[in-house]
Amino acid sequence: MLLYQALVVALVMAFGKWINAYGSFAQLMPFISYIILALLLGKSPVQALILGAAVELAFYGVMQIGGVLPQDTAVGGTLGVAFALMLNQKPAVAVALAVPISMLAVVVWNLLKFWFTANVEIFEKYIEERNIGKFNRLWWLQIGVYELAYFLLAFFAILLGTAGIKAFVDSIPRTFLTALTVSAGMLPAVGMGMLLKYVWNISFLPYFIAGFVLAAYLELPIMAVSIFGVVFGLLSFFIDKEIKDAKGSANVSVTARNDQEEDFFNE
């Protein structure tokens, strides 16, 4: 049974890493991976989404700057959710496992990146020689090694680490687990704060206050607050559109008037 679970998690990891390279679709990939993972493990997809949402919120503010990867969220999320599903644990445990795993997994990426970088000169040589065959073979060799590295990482993490993780989770005092649950609830706020640090604009302040009032004082659920956010976003979009259209019409009128005046004086 454990061998099957390790194989399933490894395949899902490899699949997620493959898709992870394809643009904005990768933003949805974790939740697709978690659903597939739950179905193959014989667990509830709903529970997988609950665990995955908690983990992804904890990673909300993580972003790659240039070639620096602070956390491998794909590895941390997949293994954290997998362990929590297999051991029937709460979202707090999934987050507690996912965050340190994601940091350790960066070592694997750094080793792979070192090899990829060393291959750049070889690729350039093949391009100069117009040797497309060798170029393609080296390219697919890189892809194969990349996929195999994460496949083996997930496989042995589940196969060799499940018993240790179970013993670790069972040994956690209930008081500490409660504190862990509270901390896991705070991590999304930390992630949001990290994200706002990069995109903050003073014009966002009214919406920020409105969202706080809706959630803290009116105690509306997340879905209701999200709907209000969509409404505010649409209002801003249409107002900005009308302003731009009005400016465009004004510029056209001024241009036409200037052309008429030039024609008058030329006559």
Other residues' Cβ atoms within 10 Å of the Cβ of residue 116: 14
- Tell me the per-residue pLDDT of 26-60, one tens digit each, with 9 for 90 and over: 555 677 888 888 999 888 888 888 888 888 877 76
Cα separation, 182 vs 185, whole angstroms: 5
Q: Is the pLDDT of residue 225 over 80?
A: yes
Tokens of 53: 């949402």
pLDDT of amino acid 33: 84
Q: Give the pLDDT score at 265.
A: 47
pTM: 0.67
DSSP state for residue 37 in the 8-state scheme: H
> Could you tell me which residues come within 8 angstroms of residue 64 by beta carbon, excluding any fewer than 6 positions away?
70
Q: How confident is the model at residue 151 (pLDDT cuts 50, 70, 90)?
A: very high
Q: What is the rounded distance in angstroms from the CA atom of residue 122 to the CA atom of residue 130? A: 12
Average pLDDT, rounded, for the chain: 79
pLDDT grade for 253, boundaries at 50, 70 and 90: low
**Distance of alpha carbon 100 from alpha carbon 11, whole angstroms:** 22
